[in-house]
Structure 1
Amino acid sequence: MKHFDLHARIPLLAKAMAAADHSPDAQLVQTRHRASLVESWDIGPGSTVLELGCGQGDMTAVLAEAVGPRGRVVAVDVAGPTYGAPVTLGESAARLAAGPLGPRIDFRLGTDVRDLSVDFPCDAFDHVVLAHCSWYFASLGQLRDTLARVRPWARRLWFTEWDLTPSCGDQLAHLLAVLVQGQIEAAGSHGEGNIRTSFSREALLRLLPETGWTADGDGPVDTDALQDADWEITACLDLITAGERLATLSEPVRQLVLSQSDVLRAVAAPHGNRPLAAYWVTAR
């Protein structure tokens, strides 16, 4: 049982993020979303957490608040400290490390847990968390190997990601932006965007048994307040307009991508596009 009101701490947590200096309203929304997730999960004071794909620390800050001064969060990301814009991972980590949550967080940027030099004792962590980071993985195989690698280290897995299945027509633009970026990556034209391997909830559930994890719960996540649909639509159309990565695709794939981007332009609103829903899965 939690003995604190995480929701009340959201404004302070959002201000602790370096990205809040650039987009305070957006940061507040992103922090509120992650706080709602953690409030629904069984991560209480004193917990030890391994966070994979920590990025700029949106979930890291919330987890550090949740575990309290006696808890610990090891925040890992395969990307190095110079990755990210307008705030890099290193800048964001340094901001959090210098604040009151710093003593609870161990940032390990530029770290791939599949590397055998990275190791922890069995059951070193109460929880392992992946929050909106799995589409950054280069492939489902990389995700599978990562989940299998961390299985001995943690007792429980908490996972959340966008859901590819739309519930209404006004989510179509976000879906198309995701699928187009995923197709470009799958065809061999690799970049550093947010979406590299877009897979379904069902694909994750098929994958988990191969990694030693057994799913024991799942459900929907409300994302209506999030701005990610607009962000991904802009990223996708900018990628198409730039053209460099399309030039390396085979002609049939390139024409398929261009046709889908035509549809995206037709259905996307100038701003305020409705995001896809997300889902959570827990496993032991």
Structure 2
Amino acid sequence: MSVSAACISIDDPESLARIYPHQNEKHFPIVLGQMRQRIQLVKTWGIQPGERVLEIGCGQGDCTVALAAAVGNSGHVTAIDPASLDYGSPYTLGEAQAHLRASPIGSRITFEQADPLAFLPRNTETYTTAVLAQCIWYFASPSTLSAILSALALRVQRICVSEYALVAGDPRAAPHVLAVLAQAALECRKPTSESNVRTVMAPREIRSAAEVAGLRTVSEERIVPPEDMYDGRWEVGAVLADEFESEIRESVANERERAVVFAMRDAVRSAADSVKLKGESVHTMDIWIATFAK
């Protein structure tokens, strides 16, 4: 089903989800859950019509869609990501971004394949808002975040951030918290990582990085994601997969360190089994949402 420009509204998750690529109607509810959560973010940040937004770490563009709906025809979203255009699943970044460029909101979006720290010095544009939506854990190190925030502080009026809070406000999300920590314990022992979890930073550390960049916290809150956002299930599934065990054996040489990662994996399994015994499914952990300014 196509979506006309007249149907585009930040208050209509279904129409926005239909702009985003999905394989079929069976896959659509997954996209809808993701879009509901992105709309939560955009509304909490108070993105307004006419804003010029710089989105860091846009990926396939799910948050980009919500931002483009919020800024309207008088605004614009510049969405950047350093990943290769053939990265991602079920759609690559290149496929998803091409799909969105051809959509009714395509004229509101400019996609850039670039490292933020390389893009900002060569770009002279100024923006009302910079957005980092659940992308910080993809960074190579905590110092990468500090450098990006310092560069953004010179170019934008405010910086809006969301990241997983490492808190299970819903007890069913406890396995998700443990799964992320297990992945982080493995990935930090690799010279390079292509995981979804490369550098885990809690809200306290992100606030500290913002303070070092000369930013103050304007607002912050924690939300429980929608029921149909499945990130928690996916991360738990990744940790319990046979491939994760193989990676532990290949990447963790020290016997004691390897035992720690295996113990964390066992904790994930036990927590997930406890949720399953109650006839329920793993939930996604809380998300921390904050706004910073000079």
TM-score by length of 2: 0.88
The whole-number CA distance in structure 1 between the counterparts of 2:100 and 2:236 is 30
1:264 equivalent among 242, 261, 268: 268
Q: In the alignment, is residue 52 of structure 1 matched against residue 56 of structure 2?
A: yes
1:199 alignment counterpart: 201
Q: 1:167 to 1:32 in 2, by over 3 A?
A: closer
After TM superposition, the structure 1 stretch with the greater mean CA deviation from structure 2, 113-122 or 163-172, is: 113-122
Deviation at residue 245 of structure 1 after TM alignment: 4.8
Distance 1:251 1:79, change over 3 A: same
Partner of 2:109: 105
1:193 counterpart SS class: coil
CA drift of 1:19 comes to 3.3
- 1:169 deviates by 4.0
Q: Kindly provide the CA deviation profile for residues 189-235 of structure 1, in whole angstroms up to 9, marking residues without a partner as x.
A: 54322111111111111111112221111011221422111010011
Paired residue for 2:4?
none
Q: Which residue of 2 aligns with 1:231?
A: 234
- Partners of 2:288 and 2:233 in 1: how far apart? 19
Distance in structure 2 (CA, Å) of the matches to 1:100 and 1:244: 43
- Determine the structure 2 residue equivalent to 1:221: 223
> 1:44 and 1:216 mapped to 2: Cα distance?
17
8 Å Cα contact 2:9/2:70 also seen in 1 = no
Cα-to-partner distance string for 1:153-178 (whole Å, 9 max, x where unaligned): 11111111111133354322111100
In 2, distance between residues paired with 1:137 and 1:19?
27
Preserved CA contact (<8 Å) 1:189 1:245: no
Partner of 1:181: 183
Question: 1:154 aligned to 153, 156, 165, which one?
Answer: 156
- Cα distance in 2 between the residues matched to 1:220 and 1:116: 31
Partner of 1:85: 89
Change (3 A) 1:259 1:75: same
In 1, Cα distance between the equivalents of 2:191 and 2:261? 12
Measured after TM superposition, the shift of residue 118 of structure 1 is 4.5
Cα distance change on mapping 1:259 and 1:156 into 2, 3 Å:
same
Structure 1 outlier segments of 4+, above 6 Å = none
Structure 1 unaligned regions, length at least 5: none
Q: Aligned-pair distance for 1:15? A: 1.0
SS of residue paired to 2:291: strand
Corresponding residue for residue 17 of structure 1: 20
Show structure 2 runs of 5+ residues with no match: 1-7
Task: For 1:264, give the aligned amino acid.
Answer: V
Tell me the secondary structure at the aligned position of residue 221 of structure 2: strand
Q: Is the 8 A contact 2:172 2:281 kept in 1?
A: no
The structure whose RCO (Cα within 8 Å, separation 6+) is larger is: 2
Instruction: Find out whether 1:253 has 2:262 as its counterpart.
Output: no
| Counterpart amino acid of residue 130 in structure 2 | V
The residue type equivalent to 2:240 in the other structure is L
> Distance between the aligned counterparts of 2:20 and 2:83, measured in 1?
18
Determine helix, strand or coil for the equivalent of 1:81: coil
Matched residues in 1 for 2:132 and 2:154: separation? 16
Percent sequence identity over aligned pairs: 31
Letter in 2 for 1:231: W
Distance 1:201 1:20, change over 3 A: farther
Does 2:134 align with 1:132? yes
**Inter-partner Cα distance in structure 2 for 1:116 and 1:260:** 38
Distance, in Å, in 1 between the alignment partners of 2:216 and 2:237 is: 37
- Partner of 2:187, secondary structure, is helix
> Is the CA contact (8 Å cut-off) linking 2:189 and 2:251 kept in structure 1?
no
Q: What letter matches 1:36 in structure 2?
A: Q
1:274 is matched with: 283
TM-score by length of 1: 0.91
Could you tell me whether the CA contact under 8 Å between 2:57 and 2:132 is conserved in 1?
yes
1: CA distance, partners of 2:108 / 2:220: 28
Q: Counterpart of 1:208?
A: 210
CA RMSD of aligned residues (A): 2.0
Residue pair 1:54, 1:60 contacting (<8 A) in 2 also: yes
Q: Confirm or deny: 8 A CA contact 1:16 1:96 kept in the other structure.
A: yes
